[in-house]
Amino acid sequence: MCSTPVSRRTVFRRIAQQRYGDWPAYDSTPLYDRTSLAGLESDIRTVSETWFDHENHHSVEQFVSALPLAYFRFSAHDRYERSTHYQMDTLFRVFVLKELHGWKHETVLVDFLRNRSELREQLGFETIPDQSTLWRSWHQRFTADLRETVETVARTILIKAQNAGVEIPREPVRKLRYHGSESGESKLDNQTPLEQAEKITDHVSRIVFPAFSLDRGGGCEIPENAYWGLQTYLGLRENLAANEGARSFIHESRRDRTPLGHGHRDQIRGLPIEQIRGMYRQAVQQLINELAETEEFFRAGIVAIDITEDDPFTGDRTGHEDEIIGTKEKTDEYAYQWATVQLVGNAVPLVLDARPVRKGESRKEIVEDLLDSAEELVHVDNILMDREFDSQHILEMISQRGLSYVVPKRMQTSEKAQTKRLLQRDQDRYETDRKLHLGKNEWHETTLIYRRKEDSEHDDHRQYSVFMTNCGSGNLTEYGYRWEIESGYRSIKRFMAATTSKDFGLRFFYFAFACLLYSIWRGVDLLVQVDLTGEYEHSPIVTADNTLTLLKRETGIG
């Protein structure tokens, strides 16, 4: 079946109801406008993602003819000054069709249009342009950047259609093209990872950073991108505060106007925490969409949920007792706490979402919130958590979602007694079913797995760890992946700007932006590896410092 007004309305209603992002992109962030090719690419990626999921949409040609383009100003990319017979938006659609089929010459395109009267009508052609007109339009009328956008858009459409099971005219190349690379191919003999990372970082930053917006209104002299540039700059050096960083930023930036430290903090303090989280999720969604166009990234995997602490707070916390809540180890220190959900295992370790932890919030509430975000971004198979999430109500909630889990259990009297029996028998492993009481005669069924630690320094029950799982002992080895989240936290805190402010929103923004820089680094590394070798190995070949330095350039520094 073809698209209809009803099916198109359904698609755009779904887009409007999406949790992350707005469409069109130029209307959702001041970093794009109606002439932005990056915004156009983002919009087509957003629409095609939903379009081909509709049961009536089985044609890439129908998508190209139905795609709304009236909002985009092609005039900025039209090198002809005189009036012409064919409109730029119509030619754009035609050349996307040509690229979809992979045709090298315009003659084949002309024959294709001649044999499809209905498609010609949908495209808005009264007469079919000849081969020479199309050739001149492509080579002389379209700018080089617009030609590159046509190629990028066609590749995106092919991938989204293929992912939805729609028949496509040719196999898409699951390899990205980046500005500054004419062929889009890497030469291993003369292309270093850092050189390739520069192009990819530029590409990724143009996709991710527009998700952030300060809602400042019009007429502002300092470009909004300067604020994100300064925030990235603060992450380049450890313990760099906004005031000192802003002074250095003035000298190192290529910008005419840059924010001062107090102005930067004031803008960020005005952002509600839910807005910060929404922007963060939108940015990660954009990053995932880009990574998903490679065969090495899969929208499925293991996630780890954990809570980390900010540096210990030593000042007066009067009035902030619900936010500066202490430490997980129950010491006499106080600290802000942040919770995250992160991809682990063989997947690229992205931080999918982050949120603050307040006094009085239950661990179950935190896990539910983070899982809601994670499941909108990727398909979650298994959840790994620390023993602070050892709660039968959390485990029951996870099982009710149809998900599996591995969680270490805090040893009570019965578990300690069991480990003593295992010690007497010199038994390394033991598995038993257990029912955990939920209340009102309701129970959660789980499996307890006792495992002796290798080279333990203890000679009592502490030689053993006890895990709870609902997915069998075979998945217990996956718990070893959880160490990655601790490794990730070390890098994230390295990217955080320093501050003594007690403002909860500012503190959380610094942490969330550091999580974004970390995720960009790991995403860039995956794309560099795939581009240079065709494969992805978990150990990064691009360093975090290199990625931040490249991001620094792309945001107007150096």
Q: pLDDT tens for residues 436-471?
A: 999 988 999 999 999 988 877 888 888 899 999 998
- Highest mean pLDDT: which range of 105-109, 375-379, 396-400, 510-514: 396-400
pLDDT of residue 555: 46
Mean pLDDT of 229-255: 65
CA distance 330 to 341: 23
CA distance 120 to 129: 11
* For the chain, percent of residues with pLDDT exceeding 90: 33
CA distance 516 to 53: 29
- Our CA angle for 220, 223, 227, nearest 5°, is 115
What Cα–Cα distance (Å) separates residue 1 from each residue in 54, 58, 59, 88, 515? 11, 7, 9, 29, 44
**Which residue's structure tokens are 């795939």?**
530
Confidence check: pLDDT of 271 > 90: no
What Cα–Cα distance (Å) separates residue 274 from each residue in 62, 265, 301, 334, 355? 38, 18, 26, 24, 9
DSSP result, 242-258: HHHHHHHHHHHB--S--
Confidence check: pLDDT of 335 > 50: yes
pLDDT of residue 240: 62
Residue pair 359/376 in contact (Cβ under 8 Å)? The answer is: no
- For 14, counting Cβ atoms within 10 Å of its Cβ (0-12 exposed, 13-18 middle, 19+ buried), the class is middle
Phi, psi of 306 (to 5 degrees): -155, 170
pLDDT of residue 24: 79
Out of 138-142, 188-192, 491-495, 525-529, least confident range: 188-192
CA distance 450 to 473: 10
pLDDT band, residue 250 (cuts 50/70/90): low
Residue pair 343/526 in contact (Cβ under 8 Å)? The answer is: no
Mean pLDDT of 201-222: 69
Q: What is the pLDDT of residues 502-542, one digit of tens each?
A: 889 888 988 998 898 899 899 989 988 888 887 888 788 88
Mean pLDDT of 476-505: 81
Out of 26-40, 231-245, 381-395, 397-411, least confident range: 231-245
- What Rg value do the Cα atoms of the chain yield, rounded? 27
